[in-house]
Amino acid sequence: MNSGVKIASCLVSVVLLFSGCSAGSAPEATQAEQQAAASSDASYMPTVEAIQPVNNEASVVNNCNRKAGAGVIMSFDDYGTPEQLHAILDVLKELNWQAYFFPVGEWSLDNWALVQDIQKDGHVVGNHSMTHPDLISLLQTDESKFYGEIYPLKNFATTTPMLLRPPFGSGLFDPQMTQLLADRDVQLCGWTADTNDWRGGSAEEMLDRVMNGYEFSPQPLAPDGVVLAHIHGENSVKFVRLLAKELDARGWNREPLK
């Protein structure tokens, strides 16, 4: 089954929504979809949190449309091993700190039980597209594929409007894309401080990048900021501990688990 059929299939909706399809309406399951369905807890339904209406002003997008005074929040993109994810979840639980997770859709299907672990721990799950493309380029070349990257994952998100973090931040402030998504009740979600962990560096170096700014993310973290990291980051857990210690020393709020 090719990627387009996989994205559109009713079976994906079964995995994501735990709802049925009419007989004969779903294509034959891929092995990944079968594994996702087998590993998921069909009795679990995530809590969906209502957030503020869609607002595409730059400062609102970078702060993920969060209420003033909510505190600093961690966010994690892409994918990782079960060990990497659970280590992050464990330290966040220890610190009573809510995070936003933006897993890639194909990884989510292959690791649906891990996505449920994120949800069960009280974290927000948003949309990071199915295959991690440049969404602006896709919108300009194939609009149907653009929507296909986003909407199969809409109903596993744990906020309404749905939070979407475009891969690479592509299109966060593009007028056409932001209006199209706002019309469909999608809130774009960026970040205010970047660990740049995919480039490497120690946890201490990542902390310096976030608190003081650097070449690719010049603004220092602010008290209601959103910190970008990745599930697969080599030093994610140590960095989270260091950042929490720094924020606590400054008297800054960290958004607690709900």
The residue count of the chain comes to: 258
Q: Distance (Å, rounded) from C-alpha 174 to C-alpha 60?
A: 14
pLDDT at 29: 38
Residue 171 and residue 6: Cα distance in Å, rounded? 25
Which domains are present in the chain? 47-250 (3.20.20.370)
Compute φ and ψ for 76, nearest 5 degrees.
Answer: -130, 130
pLDDT of residue 176: 94
Tokens of 3: 């990627």
Q: What residue has token string 């449309």?
A: 65
Residue 124's Cβ-side half-sphere holds a number of Cα atoms within 13 Å equal to 27
Q: Whole-number mean pLDDT of the chain?
A: 87
Residue 35 confidence (pLDDT): 53
pLDDT for 156 equals 85
The pLDDT of residue 241 = 98
Q: What does the alpha-carbon distance between residue 229 and residue 192 come to, in Å, rounded to a whole number?
A: 11
Q: Give the pTM.
A: 0.85
Give me the pLDDT at residue 20, please: 30
pLDDT at 157: 92
**Residues of the chain where predicted confidence (pLDDT) is lower than 50:** 1-32
220: cis peptide before it, omega within 30°?
no
SS3 content of the chain, % helix, strand, coil (to 5): 45, 15, 40
Among residues 90, 132, 87, which one has the least CA distance to residue 107?
Answer: 132
The predicted structure's pLDDT at residue 164? 98
Q: What is the pLDDT of residue 38?
A: 59
Tens-place pLDDT, residues 245-255: 999 999 999 99
